[in-house]
């Protein structure tokens, strides 16, 4: 039986997490659950286990498939931005460890404190980590530049914070589409009405996928046209993450 306490955390399969974050399911699995890697030791190769970046919110034994929570998804968002800008995962790992200890938070990138203290923590982690996973020297200057490109106001304005922890993730610039772990298990919804975006998108496609379909969907669900358009545009963006 599933523990009901997990229904306020947001529940996402790895495929759903891929669709929402743009990070592949195998990569998410490695980040959250760890992985084995063959490493050369002397003249023999050994199977080395690489520890996960953090402990997932939801124990995998609670479900038949691996799932993650909302805070995991936010961490993935931040880690992906680091990696996308060329920051080695070893630096990200050290940054997480430092921030976790400083903030007393198992998911430190979800903390509002990271907005103010993140650069100092990152630079310290970067200076401590001289080589990447492959043993190559890390360019400190390029790493510091990468941080300034990553930690922009726009990255933090995507989130709503409660008690200094991210509790909602807005999915578009108009802040009409949101992931809220307290509503619909954290699936994307129209914030104003609570209607899931995939429901509106399915209606739009079933009605012909044209302007008439938008108007018809708006009438059926009693939602403003612009909100239906936001839901459709958002779902189309997610479809792109799966290809």
CATH assignment of the domain containing 190:
1.10.10
Domain count of the fold of the chain: 1
Residue 39, domain member (yes or no):
no
Residues in CB range of 44: below 8 A, 6 or more apart: none
Residue 112, domain member (yes or no):
no
Residue 9, domain member (yes or no):
no
Per-residue model confidence as pLDDT tens digits over 144-195: 666 777 776 677 889 999 999 999 999 988 899 999 999 999 999 999 999 9
Residues in CB range of 28: below 8 A, 6 or more apart: 14, 17, 18, 21, 68, 76
Residue 243, domain member (yes or no):
yes
Residue 74, domain member (yes or no):
no
- Cα Rg, the chain, nearest whole Å: 20
Residue 199, domain member (yes or no):
yes
Predicted local distance difference test score (pLDDT) of residue 1: 46
Q: Are 90 and 32 in contact (CB under 8 A)?
A: no
Predicted local distance difference test score (pLDDT) of residue 38: 74
- Which domain, by its residues, includes 227? 175-243
């Amino acid at each position: 039986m599933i523990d009901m306490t997990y229904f306020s955390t947001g529940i996402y399969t790895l495929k759903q997490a891929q669709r929402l974050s743009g990070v592949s399911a195998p990569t998410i699995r490695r980040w959250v659950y760890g992985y084995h890697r063959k490493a050369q030791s002397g003249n023999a190769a050994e199977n080395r286990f690489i520890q996960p970046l953090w402990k997932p919110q939801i124990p995998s034994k609670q479900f038949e498939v691996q799932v993650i929570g909302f805070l995991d998804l936010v961490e993935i968002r931040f880690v992906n931005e680091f990696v996308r800008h060329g920051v080695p995962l070893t630096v990200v790992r050290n940054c997480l460890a430092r921030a976790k200890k400083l903030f007393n938070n198992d998911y430190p990138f979800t903390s509002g404190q990271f907005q103010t203290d993140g650069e100092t923590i990152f630079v310290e982690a970067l200076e401590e980590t001289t080589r990447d996973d492959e043993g190559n020297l890390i360019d400190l200057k390029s790493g510091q530049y990468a941080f300034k490109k990553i930690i922009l106001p726009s990255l933090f304005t995507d989130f709503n914070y409660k008690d200094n922890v991210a509790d909602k993730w807005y999915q578009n610039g108009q802040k009409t589409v949101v992931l809220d772990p307290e509503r619909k298990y954290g699936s994307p919804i129209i914030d104003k009405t609570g209607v899931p975006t995939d429901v509106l998108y399915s209606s739009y496609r079933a009605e012909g996928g044209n302007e008439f379909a938008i108007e018809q969907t708006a009438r059926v669900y009693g939602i403003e046209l612009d909100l239906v358009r936001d839901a459709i545009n958002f779902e189309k963006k997610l479809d792109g993450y799966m290809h």
